[in-house]
């Protein structure tokens, strides 16, 4: 029998490992080692479950639950988020525990009804509402648009645990379920990856919610998210990192994303990178079609500038670059500079198109210059691009010193 893992007195992890998952939220977020669907059981006078799991893993969750409570009833289930990786097992759960009371945010109830078509007499809760389950009291905090309208977290007093759902999640799939088993650097890097690809468009909401939670003066010993490891040793570092993520706090770093067939645009990208890299800027260079969008989003999160290049394809930019720019806009990237560049044969409008898309996405252009190259760049052309890279490096560093 699969067993629960105790994380605090009377609080247990009863989730599942999905070691085979390689694409999370569709093909836009490839993951390397699988993920977890974290569900938590609180044993008190009223036994309470925090979230369920993907429907296909329901039986595993039930094994872990029964390893703690046997055939005892569960009195409450908290639906913190209606997305199926959190609520997929809800219907089967209610079949096993038909007398359990289900709690969700107002938006959560609406979404659950639209997804599963049956009213389970949901109890609607809002920020600061409480539920006494015996020795412990649960406090609910709505977190709309982190990353759906219905998200909320739950705090349990005395145990001092925050069940944070998608917030502070990552994809670390391990039976060592606490952060200190994996090291600070790995945990923060995985949290950054998750934030960039799931939460990034909602930075304003994240920043406001972090402030609100701090003002509640909660004593927090553990933060237990819906995916990945549980935070207990690195909570201050993780909260600090999340604040930086929310504000898109930037390093001296530039990300160059390009597409090229005959290497002309690639040569431009590498010359710009040379000028930047030799003058104190961390540079990441990616051929767009050969790179996962998840990698691009993660690297852009803490970059100061994004350079985007494309050749000319039937008087238009490369399809991969167009798709990248569309995602860039949808992720509401802010506080960053940008510039387009590219090569052409007989139509030189593509770079202007890229700059227009960058501006519409909310980025500030580094220069009014339209960087275009007719066919193969000469050594003189490349030298000029390296010099431009140097100038951009100095511009970015000077702005940091102000």
Mean pLDDT, rounded, for 111-127: 95
The active-site residue out of 46, 83, 193, 259 is: 83
Is there a catalytic annotation at residue 17? no
What is the model's pLDDT at position 30? 86
Is there a catalytic annotation at residue 227? yes
Mean pLDDT, rounded, for 163-167: 95
Domain ranges of the chain: 5-247, 254-396
Is there a catalytic annotation at residue 9? no
What is the model's pLDDT at position 172? 97
397: burial class by Cβ within 10 Å (0-12, 13-18, 19+)?
middle
The active-site residue out of 54, 85, 142, 270 is: 85
Instruction: Write down the CATH number for the domain with range 5-247.
Output: 3.60.15.10
Segment 299-352, tens digit of pLDDT: 999 999 999 999 999 999 999 999 999 999 999 998 899 999 999 999 889 999
Structure-token match 């289900």, residue found: 102
Quick check: bond before 311 cis, omega within 30? no
Work out the percent of the chain whose per-residue pLDDT is above 70. 99
Architecture of the domain delimited by 254-396 = 3-Layer(aba) Sandwich (3.40)
Residue 85 has pLDDT above 70, yes or no: yes
Is there a catalytic annotation at residue 155? no
Is there a catalytic annotation at residue 171? no
Mean pLDDT, rounded, for 87-112: 97
The active-site residue out of 86, 182, 227, 264 is: 227
Report the 10 Å Cβ neighbour count for 216: 12
Is there a catalytic annotation at residue 51? no
Residue 369 has pLDDT above 90, yes or no: no
Contact 311, 279 (CB under 8 A): no
Is there a catalytic annotation at residue 313? no
What is the model's pLDDT at position 400? 67
The active-site residue out of 18, 54, 150, 166 is: 166
Q: Select from 98, 104, 99 the least CA-distant residue to 82.
A: 104
Q: Select from 140, 102, 94, 146 the least CA-distant residue to 121.
A: 102
* Phi, psi angles (nearest 5°) of residue 6: -75, 130
> How far, in Å, CA of 259 to CA of 395, rounded?
26
The active-site residue out of 12, 40, 103, 194 is: 194
The active-site residue out of 147, 171, 182, 264 is: 147
What is the model's pLDDT at position 401? 64
Is there a catalytic annotation at residue 85? yes
The active-site residue out of 25, 33, 221, 375 is: 25
Segment 13-58, tens digit of pLDDT: 999 999 998 888 777 788 888 999 999 999 999 999 999 999 999 9
């Amino acid at each position: 029998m699969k067993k629960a893992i105790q994380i605090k007195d009377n609080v247990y992890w009863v989730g599942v490992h999905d070691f085979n998952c390689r694409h999370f939220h569709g093909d836009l977020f490839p993951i390397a080692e699988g993920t977890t669907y974290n569900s938590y059981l609180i044993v008190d006078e009223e036994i309470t479950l925090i979230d369920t799991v993907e429907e296909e893993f329901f039986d595993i969750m039930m094994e872990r639950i029964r390893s703690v409570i046997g055939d005892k009833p569960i009195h409450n289930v908290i639906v913190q988020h209606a997305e199926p990786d959190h609520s997929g097992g809800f219907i089967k759960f209610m079949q096993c525990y038909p007398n359990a009371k289900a709690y969700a945010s107002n938006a959560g109830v609406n979404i659950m009804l639209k997804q599963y078509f049956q009213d389970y007499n949901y109890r609607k809760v809002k920020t600061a509402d409480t539920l006494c389950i015996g020795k412990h009291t649960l406090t609910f905090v709505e977190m709309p648009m982190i990353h759906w309208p219905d998200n909320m977290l739950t705090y349990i007093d005395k145990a001092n645990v925050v069940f944070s759902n998608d917030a502070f999640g990552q994809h670390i799939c391990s039976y060592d379920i606490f952060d200190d088993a994996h090291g600070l650097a790995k945990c923060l890097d995985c949290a950054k990856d998750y934030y960039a690809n799931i939460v990034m468009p909602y930075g304003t909401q994240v920043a406001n919610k972090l402030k609100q939670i701090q003002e509640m003066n909660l004593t927090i010993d553990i933060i237990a998210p819906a995916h990945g490891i549980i935070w207990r040793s690195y909570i201050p570092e993780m909260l600090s990192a999340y604040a930086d993520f929310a504000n898109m706090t930037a390093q001296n770093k530039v990300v160059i994303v390009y597409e090229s067939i005959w290497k002309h645009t690639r040569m431009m990208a590498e010359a710009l990178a040379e000028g930047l890299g030799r003058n104190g800027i961390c540079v990441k260079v990616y051929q767009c079609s050969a790179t996962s969008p998840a990698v691009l989003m993660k690297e852009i999160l803490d970059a100061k500038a994004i350079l985007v290049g494309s050749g000319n394809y039937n008087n238009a930019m490369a399809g991969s670059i167009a798709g990248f720019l569309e995602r860039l806009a949808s992720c509401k990237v802010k506080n960053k500079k940008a510039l387009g560049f590219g090569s052409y044969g007989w139509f030189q409008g593509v770079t202007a198109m890229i700059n227009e898309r960058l501006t519409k996405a909310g980025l500030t252009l580094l220069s009014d210059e339209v960087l275009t190259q007719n066919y193969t760049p000469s050594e003189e052309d490349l030298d000029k691009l390296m010099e431009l890279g140097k100038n951009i490096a100095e511009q970015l560093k000077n702005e940091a010193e102000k």
